[in-house]
Structure 1
Amino acid sequence: MGSRVVPLRLDDETLRLIDELVNLGVYNSRSEALRDLIRIGVKRVGRVKVIIEAVNKLFELEEDEGDIPIKLEGSLKQLLAERERF
């Protein structure tokens, strides 16, 4: 597994927070902090992607069946309300 240099711009507040983590000894350098925080973010996005794919599959089933495939009291109403936002 190789690595590459990727230039990026950060706002002052984000950079201050990164520097604080380094100054507190949580990370040894900005690069180490950014690598770790990016890994954490990528994992989280990966989980969100799985959830979105599952919800889309439920919507496909609903369209195919003409009815909602899973009935969850309360949660169903919330899901449908959220769906209307998209």
Structure 2
Amino acid sequence: MVEEKWLATIIQTISEVLAQRGEVVPTIVPEDSVRDKVVLDSFEWAEVAIKLELALGQDPFELIRAQEADIQTVDDIAALYRQG
């Protein structure tokens, strides 16, 4: 149940940041590539990171460093919190 909350929060946060562009936001699923489908610039990723830290209590960039994670998909971001 907690894992579903993490994933839902991550998808919602990414969608909100994408929506700020004023474009149609694609449906985001866990398998989506963060390099091909969920394309954000560095400022947008920083905004996502801040929002995730506020919502989930941990900085995703710190989790990436601590776990030496290679983030390829949206689900990889959720895995940071599962293992965190």
Bigger radius of gyration, 1 or 2? 1
Query: TM-score, normalised on structure 2?
Result: 0.28
Greater helix fraction, Structure 1 or Structure 2: 1
TM-score, length-scaled by structure 1: 0.28
Q: Relative contact order: is structure 1 or structure 2 higher (C-alpha 8 Å, sep ≥ 6)?
A: 2
